[in-house]
């Protein structure tokens, strides 16, 4: 597929690996940094979603999404993302992603509102375990030289999924993230709880990116 990810915010929390390990398939190893597993909450806007050489459809190809994730390594040492949940505002996209990529998508009522120097994301599920979020983000200065941790959390070019006990992968291509610092004046969410993850009462590490253009490969056996 071809798509663009716009107005994206990374929220990350340190987590005890023992709390995350039971939620990830045994074929995958947790990818730790500084001895911790990291849980991400990532809201953004998908634009121009379509097949590689097909035109985008104005309504179907643009919608908000929010995913809950952690970071993993497969048996060959390849690093990637494991998704606990993905909420999206287009039912057809939810059905297609579940069918083709075996990803745990849920249909939700969502919005992304941008003002000068800030964004507001909202999401309420229409199906599945009840969950919602409201996030206000204040956009800061560009990250001139990403730290090792910032690269670890954001430079991920493979997703993993599981269908009937078989591990799947799909590779992703895009330019490096144009990261900016960010702060979170307001955050209310229970997406982590709905995914079986421990709730954190500490402020998340926050970053913003205006967007990248993306290619996503078809799923394959990992």
89 or 60, greater pLDDT:
89
User: What's the CATH number of domain 2-221, 3.40.190.290, 3.40.50.10740, 2.40.400.10, 3.20.20.70?
Assistant: 2.40.400.10
Per-residue pLDDT at 52: 73
Given a cut of 80, whether residue 70 has pLDDT beyond it is yes
Per-residue pLDDT averaged across 107-132, rounded?
A: 96
Per-residue pLDDT at 54: 73
User: pTM, whole model, 2 decimals?
Assistant: 0.95
Given a cut of 90, whether residue 130 has pLDDT beyond it is yes
* CA distance linking residue 8 with residue 12, whole number of Å: 13
Three-class HEC string of the chain:
CEEEEEEEEEEEEEECHHHHHHHCCCCCEECCECCEEEEEEEEEEEEEEECCCCCCCCCCCCEEEEEEEEEEECCCCCEEEEEEEEEECCHHHHHHHHHHHCCCEEEEEEEEEEECCEEEEEEEECCCCCCEEEEEEEEEEECCCCCHHHHHHHCCCEEEEEECCEEEEEEEECCCCCEEEEEEEEEEECHHHHCCCCCCCCCCEEEEEEEEEEEECCCEEC
* CA distance linking residue 89 with residue 79, whole number of Å: 28
pLDDT per residue as tens digits for the range 139-150 = 999 999 999 999
Given a cut of 70, whether residue 127 has pLDDT beyond it is yes
pLDDT per residue as tens digits for the range 73-109 = 999 999 999 999 999 999 999 999 999 999 999 999 9
Domain boundaries, the chain: 2-221
Given a cut of 80, whether residue 53 has pLDDT beyond it is no
Q: Give the number of other Cβ atoms within 10 Å of residue 16's Cβ.
A: 11
Per-residue pLDDT at 61: 79
Of 54-58, 92-96, 114-118, 120-124, the one with minimum mean pLDDT is: 54-58
Percent of the chain whose pLDDT exceeds 70: 98
pLDDT category of residue 50 using cuts at 50, 70 and 90: confident
Per-residue pLDDT at 200: 84
Per-residue pLDDT at 58: 67
Per-residue pLDDT at 88: 97
Per-residue pLDDT at 99: 95
Arithmetic mean of pLDDT over the chain = 95
pLDDT category of residue 49 using cuts at 50, 70 and 90: confident
Per-residue pLDDT at 57: 67
């Amino acid at each position: 597929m071809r798509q663009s990810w716009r107005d994206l915010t990374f929220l990350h929390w340190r987590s005890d690996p023992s709390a995350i390990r039971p939620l990830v398939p045994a074929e995958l190893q947790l990818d730790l940094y500084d001895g911790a597993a990291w849980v991400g909450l990532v809201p953004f806007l998908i634009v121009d979603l379509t097949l590689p050489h097909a035109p985008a459809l104005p309504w179907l190809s643009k919608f908000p999404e929010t995913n809950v994730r952690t970071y993993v390594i497969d048996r060959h040492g390849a690093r990637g993302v494991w998704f606990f949940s993905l909420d999206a505002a287009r039912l057809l996209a939810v059905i297609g992603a579940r069918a083709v990529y075996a990803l745990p998508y849920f249909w939700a009522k969502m919005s992304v509102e941008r003002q000068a120097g800030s964004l507001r994301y909202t999401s309420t599920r229409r199906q599945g375990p009840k969950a919602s979020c409201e996030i206000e983000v204040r956009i800061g200065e560009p990250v001139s030289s990403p730290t090792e941790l910032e690269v670890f959390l954001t430079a991920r070019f493979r997703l993993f999924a599981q269908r009937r006990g078989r591990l799947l992968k799909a590779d992703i291509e895009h330019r490096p993230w144009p990261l900016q610092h960010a702060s979170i004046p307001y955050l209310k969410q229970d997406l982590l709880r709905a995914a079986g993850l421990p709730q954190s009462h500490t402020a998340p590490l926050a970053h913003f990116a205006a967007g990248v253009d993306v290619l996503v490969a078809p799923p394959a056996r990992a």
